[in-house]
Amino acid sequence: MDITIRTAAPDEYAALGEIIAQAYLGDGLLDFRESDRYLDELRDVAKRAAEADVLVAVADGRVMGGVTFVPTSGPMADIARAGEAEIRMLAVSPEARGRGAGEALVRACVERARAVEGCVRLVLSTQRGMHAAHRIYERLGFTRTPERDWKPLPDLLDVTLITYELTL
């Protein structure tokens, strides 16, 4: 599969939002399934694009997946500190899995982070069950940072996100 990574166009936001939402649903990553409040955030690509960089993986003229790259701490950052960029909401469609789209998206984020002045680290949060993503991160040199693991909704759910970092 010949994959191109580029900035998402506004006319691709709906398709990308649905790919991300369906990936999280299909992988059983949302505790409340279709009624999970996080689905709205996953689908709201326009909001993310206004505050960060949304990248898409395109093959054969179709969006196959995407990721949000947060170049500095700010409204879209969950764990990034000064001097860190962050990866959020990486997902690829079922037909693109195992074909390099996810890795290509992560590599594009690494390149972008290296181009950000003063950026010394790229960080991310992930769920324990995202094993394929963990393999990509580890293959690309990311290391676990258990001291930064966190609970996004400590009062509502017993979900702990695990974290990784790549020193640039």
Residue 96 — pLDDT band, cuts 50, 70, 90? confident
- What total of structural domains would you count in the chain? 1
Judged on CB neighbours under 10 Å (0-12, 13-18, 19+), 15 is middle
Give dist(CA 47, CA 110) in Å, integer: 22
**Phi and psi at residue 153, to the nearest 5°:** -135, 70
Looking at 32-36, 61-65, 95-99, which range is the least confident one? 32-36
For residue 132, what are the domain limits?
4-167
What's the CATH code of the domain at 69?
3.40.630.30
Going by the DSSP 8-state scheme, the letter that residue 120 receives in this structure is -
pLDDT band, residue 33 (cuts 50/70/90)? confident
User: What CA–CA distance (Å, rounded) separates 155 from 157?
Assistant: 6
Provide the pLDDT for residue 29.
72
